[in-house]
Structure 1
Amino acid sequence: MILCIGNVLTAEELSYLCNALAAASFVDGKTTAGWHARQVKHNTQLKEDAAIAPELKQMILNAIQNNSVFQMAVRPKLVRSPLISRYTPGMSYGTHVDNALMGNLRTDVSLTLFLNDPNTYEGGELVIEDSLGSHPFKLEAGSMVVYPSTTLHHVEPVTTGERLVTVTWVQSYVRDAGDREILFDLDTVRHTLFETHGKTSEFDLLSKTHANLLRKWAET
């Protein structure tokens, strides 16, 4: 399942982040790429030991983890510390698949959170490939796209302006993407039913089914 989630960061948070990043130091993004992805990764990333890095990363991580749709769709067990990336004209990230393991984290879900206005740069679409074709994403600032880490994907070259994003990876309690989608659909219907009719016998039955499937599929 590929899912776009809006308003992950507030306007105030985005303003603070972009102002801080304008004065921050960036390094070659190849330093965090796998041996094969290093050949096609052409961007820069916020310097890990930059004084502002811990604060900005924690702000982003809190916003992601506090998002209710993210929690429902991804069922996060572990979330890796995010990387903040910058693309200027001529930069891109060629076709690759994310590493299956990053330290002690198995990558089940990848996400890209867009930090600046898409109208301020040309190109830079994230393109995710699946059995139905290629799907480009260039979202509003503060929005993110989450997608299975098993997919091939790439970032189109930026031709003008500057693209600012943060990326990270998640190990889910539910390993299988299809199972996560079933749980998300059930949870969405369950919440809608409760908001419309309150706690009914139908709601209880859906809740039982959702809980028992999660109990069956979850890896603790």
Structure 2
Amino acid sequence: MLITIEQVLSKDEVRQFRAHLDGADWQDGTRSAGTLARAVKSNLQIDDASELAVSLGNHIVRCISQRPTFIAAALPREIYPPKFNCYQDGGAYGLHIDSAVMPLPGTRKNLRTDLAATVFLSEPDDYDGGELEIETAFGAQCVKLAAGDMVLYPASSLHRVTPVTRGARLASFFWIESLVANEADRTMLFDLDQTIQALTPALGATDERLLRLTGVYHNLLRRCAIT
């Protein structure tokens, strides 16, 4: 399931982010790559532990936590602190897959990477290339969104960032551990949730049929959730 969520950050918030990021201390992104990924990764990143990265990352987490579509699609249990990257001058990230388990910074816990997310911080017209290509059962899906928009997709997917041949592509990216580990179960629950939301205005929140359908949703979530 690949979902885009518009305006996770407003245009004013994006401008504020860019004002900070344009003067940030960018470092070689291969420092955070695994052995295989290092061979295909060419970008810049900000130190995850820097005050700037932590502050902007916390703001993104607060924003997405208020978006019902994100909650319904991800059913988040843990969110990895957002990172920030920049692709320019031919920078790219070849086909790769994210690590299945990552240590949560500042804790002794690990996070299972069920979903990956990218929040675009550059407008599409600001750069050439830089598409996020995600392999799906229906072929490769190319994603290049407006600044402030986010794409959410299974972290188990092969994906890549195509070379940026003009301008700079700035983005934030992170992972989510879901209460529901199985992708098919998450998709079913999301579809059911969206159906309930669509029917509520017409039927009314007290309609017995809607209440039964809501009961089905929660009983399925009880069965699928890992707590």
Q: TM-score, normalised by structure 2?
A: 0.94
Question: Residues 39-58 of structure 1: matches in 2 within 5 Å?
Answer: 39-58=39-58
How much identity, in percent, do the aligned residues show? 39
Structure 1: unaligned runs, 5 residues or longer: none
Question: Residues 63-74 of structure 1: matches in 2 within 5 Å?
Answer: 63-74=63-74
SS of match in other structure, 2:55: helix
Count, aligned residues: 220
Q: Which residue of 2 aligns with 1:218?
A: 225
Question: Residues 165-180 of structure 1: matches in 2 within 5 Å?
Answer: 165-180=171-186
Runs of 4+ in 1 over 6 A off after TM superposition: none
C-alpha distance in 1 between matches for 2:173 and 2:26: 15
SS of match in other structure, 2:201: helix
The answer as to whether partners of 2:94 and 2:161 remain within 8 angstroms in 1 is yes
> Is 1:79 the counterpart of 2:79 in the alignment?
yes
The answer as to whether partners of 1:24 and 1:50 remain within 8 angstroms in 2 is no
Alpha-carbon distance, 1:49 to partner: 4.4
The answer as to whether partners of 1:25 and 1:50 remain within 8 angstroms in 2 is no
C-alpha distance in 2 between matches for 1:76 and 1:51: 25
Q: Which residue of 1 aligns with 2:213?
A: 206
Structure 2: unaligned runs, 5 residues or longer: 104-109
The alignment's C-alpha RMSD in Å is: 1.0
> Is 1:15 the counterpart of 2:15 in the alignment?
yes
Q: Which residue of 1 aligns with 2:107?
A: none
Name which of 95, 119, 123 aligns with 1:117. Answer: 123
Q: Which residue of 2 aligns with 1:6?
A: 6
The answer as to whether partners of 2:89 and 2:166 remain within 8 angstroms in 1 is yes
Q: TM-score, normalised by structure 1?
A: 0.97
C-alpha distance in 1 between matches for 2:119 and 2:213: 32
